[in-house]
Amino acid sequence: MMNIVTEIDHWRAIKKQLIGKSIGLVHTMGNLHAGHVSLCQRSKQENDITVAAIFVNPTQFNQARDFDLYPRTIDKDKAILEENKMDYLLLLNADILYPDQYQVQVHETEMSKILEGEHRPGHFTGMMTIVLKFLNIVQPTRAYYGEKDYQQLMLIKKMAEALFLPIGIIGCPTIREEDNVAFSSRNSRLTLEQRNHASHFPRLMQSTLNTEQITVELKKLGFKVDYIVDKWQRRLGAVWIDEVRLIDNIPL
């Protein structure tokens, strides 16, 4: 039976009873899919206790409309977490998590300025701030993040190392649908026609074309391209299908 925790003090009281047990954290914004489930399963394999956390973090959305439209499916998410035998679900609201009204922020000055950071100003500051809050609250042994958000994963690892956090930051492989599109909460905002069209994105990313050729082909197909680049031994890309933005990356 999964326990739902809505207060920090409640979690701290629970944690005192877990001395000597390893704790895994899977921190998400909800609208759970197979990618999130893979993180939960990995944590279950590697830890005595797994804590899932769901919070749609307003400070990492650089467009208010994107925040408003972000799919919220908490009842379905609870059922998925129960089915996967999570031990705890941490559901904290914005008033608890931002008592300072976001006056204290976590900044990174180099990696966060390029690619996603260039196209989504403020996104990584909001992301790193909330991740640090959850890592400090839960104090897990290990925390699990998907490689689909590769730049995010690298920044979390960099932050944990720079701030001497005694936590293993574990990157987990991208989980893909049958047509190779990476599972993403934003996929649910696509119409059937848009969703079918989205399969061109991973197909071209995984092709033998170079980044300039991929960009040209995607534009021919009607995608708006933010970037396609080779960096960090990865090919990384971000595109738009109408109002929905998709990101992906593959190892080189």
List the catalytic residues. Answer: 36
The token pair at 188 is 């649910």
Cα gap 222→213, rounded to integer Å = 15
Spatial strand order in the sheet of 49-54: 3-5, 88-90, 49-54, 23-28, 142-146, 168-172
d(CA 155, CA 151): 6
Beta bridge partners of 239: 225, 246
**Torsion angle in degrees (nearest 10) through CA of 150, 194, 199, 226:** -40
Assigned token pair, 48: 């005595």
d(CA 108, CA 187): 29
Residues paired with 89 in a beta bridge: 4, 52
Per DSSP, the three-state class of 100 is coil
Return phi, psi of residue 244, to 5°. Answer: -105, 130
CA distances from 183 to 42, 105, 113, 128, 193 (A): 17, 29, 25, 22, 17
Residue 182 per-residue DSSP state: B
